[in-house]
Amino acid sequence: MSTGLYTPPAADQLARARAVLDSVTDPELPFLTIADMGILRDVRVAGNTVEVAITPTYSGCPAMDVIALDIVTALTKAGFPEVRIERVLSPAWTTDWLTPPARAKLAANGIAPPQGRPDGSNSKRALFAEPAIVCPSCGSMATDRVSEFGSTPCKAHYRCRTCREPFQYFKCI
């Protein structure tokens, strides 16, 4: 017996849920979405429930509770009655998951993106290797680390010897 209410197909619901999640940003880097960051791992629709899998950037990331709440709020406001958040810890998040647009947005906002190896990989070269960090303001490689920790634990504080501007570096994890 039909209730007269139209229920969109699951594929339409999934596409709509993904579109809603494209607006959820990282509270510490509000110019980046959770998809840009690689935090958003998977989205599934099962009946009336949207299941969202997220991975923290590191195990103690204080932003994950806010991100989970923002996901639930955005999906609920968009008309999804039930939302379930799953935290996926394995494989662990890595800066390799930052999208190319995320890297460009970091630099455009004065934060040096993670510096990788010459082969294009973003992984650290060696355990105690010091990468040459490029100043996001002037492009100089004449930079010095001021502090291992910046405004958040995932960033370090640097200064440029060329333009003399301070900046943050998103650490390679």
- Per-residue model confidence as pLDDT tens digits over 31-58: 999 999 999 999 999 988 999 999 998 8
pLDDT band at 119 (very low <50, low <70, confident <90, very high): very low
Backbone φ/ψ region at 120: left (φ over 0), alpha (ψ -120 to 50), beta: left
Q: What's the predicted TM-score (pTM) here?
A: 0.82
Kindly state the tokens that stand for 128.
């105690």
- What number is the average pLDDT over the span 80-88? 96
Domains belonging to the chain, first-starting first, are 10-87 (3.30.300.130), 98-170 (no CATH)
Q: Tell me, letter by letter, the H, E, C secondary structure of 18-45.
A: HHHHCCCEECCEEEEEHHHHCCEEEEEE
β-sheet bridge partners, residue 4: none
Which residues lie closer than 8 Å to 18 by C-beta, 6 or more apart? 43
What amino acid is encoded at 42 in this protein? D
Is residue 46 classed as helix, strand or coil in its secondary structure?
strand
The dihedral of CA 59, 64, 68, 69: what is its sign? positive
